[in-house]
């Protein structure tokens, strides 16, 4: 079976490459990084979002082979040195999640946003996050948490 070397959260891994297998399944099934969730499988909901070289991608439609040689970051790699990312801390402080299913994707998108725009306006936040569906309706708390994290960074 063919294999591919990928770098996830700063560590190198070798994963099997089977035709049609997505990055999402490699992360979850091969590496056990189950913080990345499976929702629609069609790039519609955002819950599978991870970062590739700092940019948010939908891992449910990204092939493993498209991630070779690039730096993948998942929710498990957002905290550094045992310290939560300011977004994670803000999420806790404002009690953002309800069921939580969408939240790892939301956090990864928000992390990418603050990397490219450290002080986004409310409109810029809503625009960046608009592709993420939350069945629990936590949208307003997400906006407030991103603003709180930005104010602390
Ligand atoms: S599971 Fe990838 S966007 Fe919904
Ligand atoms: S917190 Fe339940 S789907 Fe978003």
Of 36, 57, 77, which residue is a domain's last?
A: 77
103 and 62 both lie in a single domain: no
Q: Can you give the pTM of this predicted structure?
A: 0.96
Structure tokens at 12: 């190198």
Structure-token match 């990418």, residue found: 112
Q: Which atom of ligand 1 is nearest to the CA of 59?
A: 2
Distance 101 CA to ligand 1 centre (A): 12
Total tally of structural domains belonging to the chain = 2
94 and 111 both lie in a single domain: yes
Query: How much is the pLDDT for 1?
Result: 77
| Ligand 1 near 124 CB (within 6 A) | no
Lowest mean pLDDT among 64-68, 88-92, 135-139: 64-68
Q: Which atom of ligand 1 is nearest to the CA of 39?
A: 1
Probe target for ligand 1 pocket from 60, 74, 102, with the most ligand atoms within 8 Å of CB: 60
Structure-token match 């906006």, residue found: 143
Probe target for ligand 2 pocket from 48, 98, 110, 129, with the most ligand atoms within 8 Å of CB: 98
55 and 90 both lie in a single domain: no
Structure tokens at 74: 């998942």
What rounded mean pLDDT belongs to the chain? 96
Of 31, 51, 77, which residue is a domain's last?
A: 77
Distance 138 CA to ligand 1 centre (A): 18
50 and 115 both lie in a single domain: no
Give the closest residue (by CA) to ligand 2 atom 4.
134
Q: Does 113 have pLDDT greater than 90?
A: yes
Do residues 88 and 119 touch, judged by C-beta distance below 8 A?
Answer: no
Which pLDDT band holds residue 19 (cuts at 50, 70, 90)? Answer: confident
9 and 66 both lie in a single domain: yes
Of 77, 111, 144, which residue is a domain's last?
A: 77
Structure-token match 């049609």, residue found: 20
Starting at the edge strand found earlier in the chain, the sheet holding 11-16 runs 11-16, 3-8, 71-73, 49-52, 55-58
The CATH number of residue 134's host domain is 1.10.150.120
Q: Residue 38 belongs to what domain range?
A: 2-77
β-pairing, 71-73 with 3-8? parallel
Q: C-alpha angle 117/150/27, rounded to 5°?
A: 75
């Amino acid at each position: 079976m063919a294999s591919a070397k990928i770098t996830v959260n700063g560590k190198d891994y070798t994963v099997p490459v089977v035709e049609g297998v997505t990055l999402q399944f490699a992360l979850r099934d091969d590496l056990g990084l189950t913080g990345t969730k499976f929702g629609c499988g069609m790039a519609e909901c955002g819950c599978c979002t991870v970062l590739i070289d700092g940019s948010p991608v939908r891992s449910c439609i990204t092939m493993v082979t498209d991630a070779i040689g690039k730096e993948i970051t998942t929710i498990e790699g957002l905290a550094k040195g045992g310290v939560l990312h300011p977004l994670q801390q803000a999420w806790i402080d404002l009690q953002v999640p309800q069921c939580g299913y969408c939240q790892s994707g939301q956090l990864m998108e928000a992390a990418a946003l603050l990397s490219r725009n450290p002080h986004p306006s409310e409109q810029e936040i809503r625009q960046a996050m608009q592709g993420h569906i939350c069945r629990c309706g936590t949208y307003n708390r997400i906006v407030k948490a991103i603003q709180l994290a930005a104010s602390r960074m």
